[in-house]
Structures are given as structure tokens and as C-alpha cells.
Structure 1
């Protein structure tokens, strides 16, 4: 099997522990027979856990890592221990060409710091961005970036985020010409800061790229499915993401409380169970699991720390798809085109 089809997995990261990670690997292996996996972590523990996963025989290789990165560990500390931790060695496997992508459900800050230091950025990219798929009312999910990697950005950064997000959407969502928008406080051309307006002007001049810039979008339209990619600075994006997630949990809790308030409500819940299940599945973060650090010279996918086996499998399959579609080359080509046109 080709090295490019191999995914390095931080087997010790995440809240669910090794058993959940390996269950997710087994599900991904069953769905994607072209993938193989590099399991990084405590070798003895991994070998013992693999005894209950016969489907992974011949599909995995183990790299021993004596230590793990704690969930609250500072990025500066984790960088110093990168050569002995499961997270650090998983990222290093991408750098060394032993794997096409790395996937971890561990400490986000530590993973970003290790990935930036080890892989560096693609030529022409000033800063990497964290991109994720958000559920929407449209035919597909919506790509949003940056979600916290960069708290302050200039117009050039926002343009790069938009271009990277469009390249990601073409791969992850199978779109030929993704619709791209900048998150702003209004849709009128005069709204927003000078930085956002400058970025919009530059993107309007990028009609030659395989993306369609639609202008600005407001926070209340994030999940309407009107655009495929939403670009913003990491400070704004992280607040928008957490607000959306909190609102989803708030609505779910309200429904749960309402359906349990009386006998009549409980009967109504039984009648509406198919609809509530559809809502729950659509909002379940495990079904949209896998945030990607875009702009690096290597693919790194961040899984939710609390992801279940299905969520881990989705993150692994996403990583495999990005490797097969050569996302890094796509981003480099698009950036080269926009820089050449600007010059």
C-alpha cells in the first residue's frame, strides 16, 4: 500500500481512551479499504487492545511513544517533549513521509504548536488556519475558518483563508466552484473594518480562481446553506463557533425539558421521535468531526476530544480523502494564481 494512503493516529489522545480510538480506526478501515494506519502510542497497550480488533490485522503498524500530551498542557511544554509523545511522533511521521496525514483528538493548542513548528507553512502562506465543517440547511456542510489559530489578521490573511477554504471545500464537499463569503457585521459593501473591506476587494478580483466570492455574510446566516465557505479571523470565528454550538445544545435541552413536562408531552415525543432523531443526528458533532490545519506543508486533522468511535472514523476518513485529493497542491496552485494576478 502506498505511503500516501497511510494515516498516523495519535492513539493515546482524546477523552475516550485507546479503546475508542481503535474502534474508530476499525470503522474507518472497514469503510475505506485503501487506507492503512500508523498507530502511535504505548506499544504494549496498543497490542493488547488490538486483540479485540481482528479486522485491523495487516492494516496497522505501531510506533512506540513512551509519553502522552496532557489535555491542559501548555503548548511550550508539549513542544519540548514532541520527540517522546504520541502526538509529537504522529506529526513527525507526516514530516518524515511515513504518513500522508496525522489525526489526533488531543490538546488542540499543543497539536497546532507542534504542527506549525515541525511542518512549517506552504510557501506564500503567512499563517495556517483551523477549518471545520459546520452543519447547515443546504445540500452540504459549510466550511468555516479560522476557528481560533489566529486572533488578529490582516486583509492578506483573510484572502489566504478564503482561498484555502475554497480548496478544502472542493475536496471535502466535492464542489467544483464553492461559494465563499467573509463574516461581517452587515452585508453592505461599506460595513465592517478596513481590513475586511480590503480583503473583499481583493477577492472580487479573483474571479479566475475555482471559487465564487459572494461578499459578506452575517452571523445569523451561518447555517442557512447560502454559502459553502465562510472566512474570518480566529477570534471572531471561535466565538461564532462556540455560540452556534451552545445554541444547539440550548435548543436540544429545551426540547428535552418540554417533552418530559407532562404525560401528553411524552406521548407527543413518541409520535415525533423520527423527527427529533433526525434533528439530533444533524446536530451531532460526531457526524461533522475533523478540523483541519490548512496552510501547512503536511496534513493534520484535529478530532473532537470527546468524539465517539463514529466521530473518530469520520475524522480518519476525511484525512484519507484530503491525502488522496492532494489538498496541499491545490492550495499552492490557487495561491500561486492569485499572487500572479495581483502582481
Structure 2
């Protein structure tokens, strides 16, 4: 198969930032119909009114169909969430363990404190998106996801069996097994399907591969590729595309995140092609996510074709803002028609 037409995909995990960075990166996700936009701004998006204002800024910046999230804190007002979700302003709520990743300092430290919010979300059908890592200093950074499943996610699921949960950007054999066994929703990123920690560390540290959760061993990468391409209906596309200024990535203590949006759809198609699973690609990219969130799939189509490898993309600039797109360091031969060769 050298040509593939599917319903237009959605991105169920996207960072767009704000201000100049927002205006630079928002148009990069034009291949996607909708995108679930993360709320970890500074300060974070914590109310329905703030989510509505941020949505307006995103649309003005060039992405037409953002789906908004609210940042869960220990002071979140359940009534505000219920009203914002009922009004169609907020699609989901994002849980960051405090200190787990970029701009997560306002996240949850005391999980008992958010029980009333989770109970309200469960009752009113408001989905929860989870950054699945513990931040305990005694846990190795490569083991944080597995520890989160045992210490936080399993008890949360037992306490709130009707809460719709998405475990975002899963990275391990442990998470793949948990998702298979429980049927909870899960997203998988471009970089975790296309790379492992050798790509980031062997022969020198490559900061543009650094993200959180961090890339793991090859066996974890292989488990993710198997799950993504298996036809499982609870696993779907979520890039976690996360822009940082180049000087912040190429620093002594570099920021976590990979700007994958410009190549995301082509890269996912490349993975499914390599795994002999192009017949499962539309489900992963276009159907499973809407079904999980109770939305209809997009009606319009997008076409991809196989051709010469995509050239590495140059740095993107808008005024003083410079961002380096992710380069997997291996050929991507699939192209989205009408996307400038990507």
C-alpha cells in the first residue's frame, strides 16, 4: 500500500503554550481535526472561564477546533468543572502530580484532597487525563510510570470505577499491560514509538529527544509499537507535542518536550507501515479517540502517500522565538498530501 485515505485524525494530547509561542506552533497541527489542549500555562488554566479565554486565543492563533482541559489542583471547585463541562467549554480535566513535568508545580501532592473532585467528575461523566508518574525522590526516573500505576492509578480506578480515565503518553511494558487488562484509555506519542533511550543517550546526550515520561529501553518501545498497531480500540493518537525555545532545549539543564507536530501524522503512518498494520491506522488515528471521549469522528478525509524520505525540518522562528522540530534520526517516507511535503 503506497497511498492511504482516512478520516481526519485528532490529537488527544497537545501543548500550544501562549503568546508568541502559541502563534508560532498553533498552525503546525493543521493536519488534525481537533486537539485536546493541555492547560499547563504559567499561570495554569484552572477554571472554566480561563479555559474559554484560552480557547479564544488558540482560535485566533490559527487552530480552529481546540478542545479544552482544566488543570486539576487541590483547590479545584467541582461546581465550576461541572458547569464548564455542561456548557461545552471543557472536554476533560488534567491531573499532574506536582513536579512531574513542565509547569506542574501547581499539581497534586495530596491525592486524598482531590477525592471530592473525582467523585463529581465520575458522577457527571467528565473525563480525567493523567500524567502517570510519581515524583517520589526514592523512585528512579525510569521507574516512575510503573510506580504510579501501583501506587496511584490502581487505587484511583478501584475507588472511582465509573471515572473515564486516559493514561497519557504511556511508555512502558507495565503501562501497555495495564491498558490491555483494564481497558482504560491511553495515548502514545511519536517519540516513544520511534525511539528509545539509546537514541537519546548513546554517543552523547541529544536534548531534543528528552521528554517526560523519559524514553525507556527498547523492549518498552517494542511493547508500545505492538499495542498501538494491535487494533485495540482504547489506544489512540496523542502527540504530546511540546514546544520549547531552542536555547532552553540546548541547555545544561534542558527542558522536557519534543515538538513533533509538524511530522506527527507522517511519523505515525511510518510506524504502522513498518509493523505491517496500515489497516489499523485509521482506528488509532481517527476513530478510537472520539469514541473514548464520546464525540463523533471527523467527516472529512486526509490522504497520505509513501515517497522519498522527509527532509529534517529547519528551526522555526517568529520574532525572537526559535524552536527546533523533532527529528527522529531515521527516514520517514510517508507524506500528508497538502502539508508542504510532510
Q: Normalized against structure 2, the TM-score is what?
A: 0.31
The structure, 1 or 2, with the larger RCO (C-alpha pairs under 8 Å, 6+ apart) is 1
Of Structure 1 and Structure 2, which has the larger fraction of its residues in helix?
A: 1
Q: Normalized against structure 1, the TM-score is what?
A: 0.31
Flag the structure with larger Rg: 1
